[in-house]
């Protein structure tokens, strides 16, 4: 937990109060705040009980029906739904006067005040007989009760009906607008700040937290969680939340509490949220206000989707701490990820601890020479962490020393303070963690894929299996992620976040159709649109957040448990999403797909020397492919723009097609994940592509087709004639198109 300074370390109380007055909007300042439905509690569905319109809270019931369910001893849900009893007090319609044309509220004996007076002054003692003597009166235009759900007439000069007027007097006749708001919001969450009326700044601080929860819309905030926090803060006696640090608030909250519960955790989380947002308001955000601190709150630096802080207080040397801050700031502002900054900081913490143990009282970087680094390497070799983790420490420190020299942060750093390639621990080369064929066969079965409870996660799994993407890149697919090339083949466009660039991979028909269905579901769920193909399923009312990898990994574990996948030894299979990427690449290599094609499909930046030679050979073949005129079965020219955004992915698709389907007179343009049951060229297939290189084969096939047609006509074989006439027609168009370009291409 990060301990932050007290209020006086930021600014005086008057300055913070002025900021609060300028920040907290009027709708969050009343003593009782009743937000609009859906603005703080995202689940606005009504109670499961028929005709009860109150907001559901627990088990699908409103607060009143949930309490009634508890009082009845927690009966079976179905039996309780069948006979839940009357609606909660205040939800049922009020009784009107029994005189049919009168809409005043019932007062005595089923009559309103006026008609009860008329009845009392009559000689009749039976109300039923008296009602029969009344003559119908025309309907009168009278003002109705101020409450929107009440259709009775207002009583006298009051804006309320008789019964609601009585209730208004019973609670002390408060402001009529406040009474109407409270009555119309029965069943909705309300936040009561009246206990802090004598401490206006503290009240504004908690209202500011509520406003921040409303604006950020990242977590449901119920009154059952916030109300205990308001009482707790009221009992503390402080004038501001910043009078204590978070450890003091946690201790005060935990005093006298026995055990833990989900609700208690939510209360403490809201208290910490209120404290953090107030501190943001008091201290400001950005590098100017955060750089000087020893704990950088990441959300103040603009990393709103990242929790926690970068802490430098574990570096005891002031000079090293100052250099570490400059280095981490430079790494972040130059585009490095937060995870890399954390790795760098951990390495600096370990190096600082080593220096403190080895060199007492070091006061500058001049103490770091090659001898010290060799001693550090010796200590690092004794570390029980993995080789890759120790290698990351050496890499981060080397980048740290290089940055100091490059930017001139410290002139007295010795030139020998440097690591060399042989200093890095050598990790053992590991084989790809591809899944066995029998495991993949079980995972890809329609029966097992149908066990996904969410269609979003099922599609995400298919993309991981069929396209070889990383799970983080898949979760962050944008809604408009499908593009097409010149011949209409679909490709998945995604952001390779590791390499910070867009990439493309071919799609098969099943995945493409599933993506179209997913886009339709997202539009139905978010009519105003969402930027993500896989929006987060919870706490995401606006569709602004994508599905997290943590959420998907949890769903994956549940799915694997339902499928009961077993290996060859009968053991339960546990896997990570990244193993599908290994399996995708390994399967392509085993099918003799060129390594350069695999590199393109997996969007790798570099490869081994064999991949370099494969790329040189592939470039030569590709140049001829792009230069040659390509036609389909209709004789239409197919073009591929060598500089277009789909050029690389289109060529990878063609190379993969050559490796998996060999044809005597052309190439197969079928999507790479699909297989064709025919072992020869089909001149009636729209996926067939050919060039002038195959012109002799086409001419020979035309000659043979003419002979077959002549024999079929002589024997009267109508079906055979029909089939071969289509082939002859397509051959004529292909030969005519290719014959014009063959001499020029041959000369070239």
Q: Please give the pLDDT value at position 28.
A: 93
Cα-Cα-Cα-Cα torsion 4, 9, 11, 13, nearest 10 degrees, comes to 80
Q: Please give the pLDDT value at position 732.
A: 87
Distance, in Å, from the CA atom of 283 to the CA atom of 289, rounded to the nearest integer, reads 7
Flag the least confident range among 79-93, 434-448, 562-576: 79-93
- Looking at the chain, the whole-number percentage of residues with pLDDT higher than 90 is 31
Q: Please give the pLDDT value at position 405.
A: 94
Pairing of strands 295-297, 309-311: antiparallel
Pairing of strands 501-506, 630-631: unpaired
3-state DSSP call for residue 557? helix
**Structure confidence by residue, pLDDT tens digits, 600-620:** 777 776 655 334 333 334 554
Element (H or E) spanning 207, and its range? helix 200-216
Distance, in Å, from the CA atom of 594 to the CA atom of 290, rounded to the nearest integer, reads 51
Higher pLDDT, 141 or 274: 274
What are the backbone dihedrals phi and psi of residue 656, each rounded to the nearest 5 degrees, phi first? Answer: -65, -35
Q: Chain-wide mean pLDDT for the chain?
A: 82
Write out the two tokens for 296: 């950088």
What average pLDDT does the segment 407-413 reach? 93
Q: Please give the pLDDT value at position 610.
A: 33
Helix orientation angle between 13-23 and 262-283, rounded to the nearest 10 degrees: 110
Distance, in Å, from the CA atom of 658 to the CA atom of 564, rounded to the nearest integer, reads 38
Cβ atoms < 10 Å from Cβ of 125? 8
What average pLDDT does the segment 128-137 reach? 86
Distance, in Å, from the CA atom of 560 to the CA atom of 435, rounded to the nearest integer, reads 14
Higher pLDDT, 498 or 622: 498
Q: Is the dihedral of CA 463, 465, 466, 471 positive or negative?
A: positive
Q: Which residues pair with 96 in a beta bridge?
A: 105
Write out the two tokens for 684: 């009636």
**Structure confidence by residue, pLDDT tens digits, 344-354:** 999 999 999 99
Write out the two tokens for 171: 């609670």
Q: Which residues pair with 33 in a beta bridge?
A: 191
User: pLDDT band at residue 632, thresholds of 50, 70 and 90?
Assistant: low
3-state DSSP call for residue 319? helix
User: pLDDT band at residue 61, thresholds of 50, 70 and 90?
Assistant: confident
What are the backbone dihedrals phi and psi of residue 689, each rounded to the nearest 5 degrees, phi first? Answer: -130, 140
With a cut of 90, say whether residue 393 has pLDDT above it: yes
| H-type alpha helices, 359-454 | 370-381, 387-407, 437-443, 446-449
478 near 461, Cβ under 8 Å? no
3-state DSSP call for residue 442? helix
Cβ atoms < 10 Å from Cβ of 557? 11
**Structure confidence by residue, pLDDT tens digits, 652-695:** 766 665 544 445 555 555 554 454 554 445 666 666 778 777 88
Q: Please give the pLDDT value at position 291.
A: 92
Cα-Cα-Cα-Cα torsion 576, 580, 586, 589, nearest 10 degrees, comes to -160
Spatial CB neighbours of 407, under 8 Å, sequence gap ≥ 6: 326, 330
**Structure confidence by residue, pLDDT tens digits, 195-216:** 999 999 999 999 999 999 998 8
With a cut of 80, say whether residue 548 has pLDDT above it: yes
With a cut of 70, say whether residue 108 has pLDDT above it: yes
Distance, in Å, from the CA atom of 600 to the CA atom of 607, rounded to the nearest integer, reads 11
Which is nearest to 628 in space by CA: 616, 613, 612, 639? Answer: 639
Which is nearest to 40 in space by CA: 193, 270, 220, 266? Answer: 220
Which is nearest to 112 in space by CA: 66, 52, 154, 61? Answer: 154
Q: Is the dihedral of CA 708, 712, 718, 719 positive or negative?
A: negative
Distance, in Å, from the CA atom of 596 to the CA atom of 66, rounded to the nearest integer, reads 63
Distance, in Å, from the CA atom of 320 to the CA atom of 329, rounded to the nearest integer, reads 14
Element (H or E) spanning 297, and its range? strand 295-297
Q: Please give the pLDDT value at position 715.
A: 76
Distance, in Å, from the CA atom of 103 to the CA atom of 709, rounded to the nearest integer, reads 92
Pairing of strands 295-297, 191-192: unpaired
**Structure confidence by residue, pLDDT tens digits, 269-325:** 999 999 989 988 988 888 988 899 898 988 888 887 777 889 999 999 999 999 999
Q: Please give the pLDDT value at position 94.
A: 84
Q: Please give the pLDDT value at position 615.
A: 39
What average pLDDT does the segment 723-748 reach? 71
121 near 73, Cβ under 8 Å? no
What average pLDDT does the segment 209-230 reach? 89
**Structure confidence by residue, pLDDT tens digits, 637-651:** 666 666 666 666 776
Pairing of strands 501-506, 490-496: antiparallel
Distance, in Å, from the CA atom of 71 to the CA atom of 309, rounded to the nearest integer, reads 46
Distance, in Å, from the CA atom of 561 to the CA atom of 671, rounded to the nearest integer, reads 33
Flag the least confident range among 68-82, 630-644, 729-743: 630-644
Write out the two tokens for 616: 């040189």
User: pLDDT band at residue 623, thresholds of 50, 70 and 90?
Assistant: low
Q: Is the dihedral of CA 158, 163, 169, 173 positive or negative?
A: negative
With a cut of 50, say whether residue 547 has pLDDT above it: yes
Q: Rounded to whole angstroms, what are the CA distances from 500 to 331, 503, 554, 604?
A: 15, 10, 27, 12
3-state DSSP call for residue 222? coil
Flag the least confident range among 57-71, 382-396, 423-437, 566-580: 423-437
User: pLDDT band at residue 400, thresholds of 50, 70 and 90?
Assistant: very high
Which is nearest to 451 in space by CA: 549, 522, 555? Answer: 555
> What is the DSSP code string of 133-161?
TPPP-PPP--PBPSSTT--SBPPTTSSS-
**Structure confidence by residue, pLDDT tens digits, 501-536:** 888 888 888 999 999 999 999 999 998 889 999 999
**Model pTM?**
0.62
161 near 153, Cβ under 8 Å? yes
Q: Please give the pLDDT value at position 487.
A: 76
């Amino acid at each position: 937990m990060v301990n932050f300074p007290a209020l006086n370390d930021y600014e005086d109380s008057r300055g913070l109060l002025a900021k609060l007055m300028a920040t907290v909007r009027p709708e969050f300042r009343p003593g009782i705040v009743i937000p609009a439905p859906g603005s703080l509690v995202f689940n606005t569905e009504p109670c499961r009980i028929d005709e009860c319109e109150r907001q559901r809270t627990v088990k699908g019931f409103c607060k009143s029906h949930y309490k009634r369910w508890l009082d009845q001893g927690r009966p079976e849900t179905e039996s309780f739904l069948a006979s839940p009893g009357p609606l909660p007090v205040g939800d049922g319609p009020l009784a009107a006067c029994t005189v049919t044309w009168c809409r005043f509220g019932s007062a005595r004996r089923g009559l309103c005040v006026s008609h009860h007076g008329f009845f009392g002054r009559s000689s009749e003692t039976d109300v039923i007989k008296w009602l029969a003597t009344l003559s119908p009166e025309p309907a009168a235009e009278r003002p109705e009760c101020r409450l929107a759900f009440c259709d009775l007439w207002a009583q006298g000069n009051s804006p309320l009906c008789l019964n609601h007027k009585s209730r208004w007097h019973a609670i002390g006749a408060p402001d009529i607008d406040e009474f109407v708001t409270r009555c119309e919001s029965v069943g909705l969450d309300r936040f009561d700040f009246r206990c802090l009326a004598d401490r206006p700044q503290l009240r504004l601080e908690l209202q500011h937290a509520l406003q921040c929860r409303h604006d950020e819309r990242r977590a449901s905030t119920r009154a059952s969680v916030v109300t205990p926090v308001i009482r707790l803060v009221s009992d503390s006696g402080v004038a501001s939340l910043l009078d204590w640090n978070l450890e003091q608030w946690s201790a005060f909250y935990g005093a006298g509490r026995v055990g833990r519960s989900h609700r208690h955790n939510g209360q403490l989380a809201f208290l910490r949220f209120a404290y953090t947002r107030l501190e943001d308001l008091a201290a400001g955000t950005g590098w100017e206000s955060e750089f000087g601190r020893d704990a950088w709150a990441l959300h103040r630096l603009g990393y709103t989707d990242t929790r926690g802080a970068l802490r430098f207080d574990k570096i005891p040397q002031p000079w090293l701490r100052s250099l570490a801050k400059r280095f981490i700031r430079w790494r972040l502002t130059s585009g490095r990820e937060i995870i890399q900054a954390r790795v760098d900081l951990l390495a600096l913490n370990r190096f600082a601890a080593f220096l403190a143990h080895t060199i007492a009282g070091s006061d500058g970087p001049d103490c770091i020479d090659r001898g010290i680094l060799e001693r550090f390497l010796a200590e690092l070799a004794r570390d029980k962490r993995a080789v890759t983790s120790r290698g990351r420490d050496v890499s981060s420190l080397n980048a740290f020393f290089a940055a100091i020299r490059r930017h001139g942060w410290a002139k007295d750093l010795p030139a020998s303070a440097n690591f060399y390639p042989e200093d890095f621990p050598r990790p053992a080369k590991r084989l790809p963690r591809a899944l066995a064929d029998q495991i993949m066969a079980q995972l890809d079965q329609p029966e097992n894929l149908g066990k996904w409870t969410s269609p979003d996660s099922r599609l995400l799994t298919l993309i991981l299996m069929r396209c070889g993407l990383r799970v983080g890149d898949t979760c962050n697919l944008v809604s408009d992620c499908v593009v097409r090339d010149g011949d209409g083949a679909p490709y998945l466009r995604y952001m390779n976040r590791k390499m910070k660039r867009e990439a493309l991979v071919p799609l098969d028909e099943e995945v493409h159709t599933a993506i179209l269905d997913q886009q339709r579901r997202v539009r139905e769920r978010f009519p105003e649109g969402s930027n993500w193909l896989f929006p987060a399923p919870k706490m995401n009312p606006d569709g602004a957040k994508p599905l997290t990898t943590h959420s998907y990994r949890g769903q994956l574990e549940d799915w694997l448990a339902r499928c009961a996948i077993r290996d060859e030894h009968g053991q339960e299979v546990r896997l990570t999403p990244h193993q599908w990427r290994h399996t995708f690449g390994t399967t392509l290599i085993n099918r003799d797909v060129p390594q350069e094609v695999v590199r393109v499909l997996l969007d790798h930046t570099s490869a081994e020397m064999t991949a370099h030679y494969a790329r040189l050979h592939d470039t030569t073949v590709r140049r001829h492919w792009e230069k040659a005129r390509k036609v389909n079965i209709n004789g239409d020219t197919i073009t591929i723009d060598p500089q277009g955004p789909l050029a690389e992915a289109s060529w990878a698709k063609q190379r993969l097609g050559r490796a998996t389907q060999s044809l005597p007179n052309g190439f197969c343009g079928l999507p790479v994940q699909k297989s064709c049951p025919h072992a020869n060229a089909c001149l009636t297939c729209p996926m067939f592509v050919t060039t002038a290189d195959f012109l002799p084969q086409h001419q020979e096939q035309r000659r043979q087709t003419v002979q077959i047609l002549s024999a079929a006509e002589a024997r009267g074989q109508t079906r055979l004639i029909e089939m071969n006439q289509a082939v002859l027609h397509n051959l004529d168009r292909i030969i005519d198109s290719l014959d014009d370009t063959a001499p020029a291409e041959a000369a070239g």
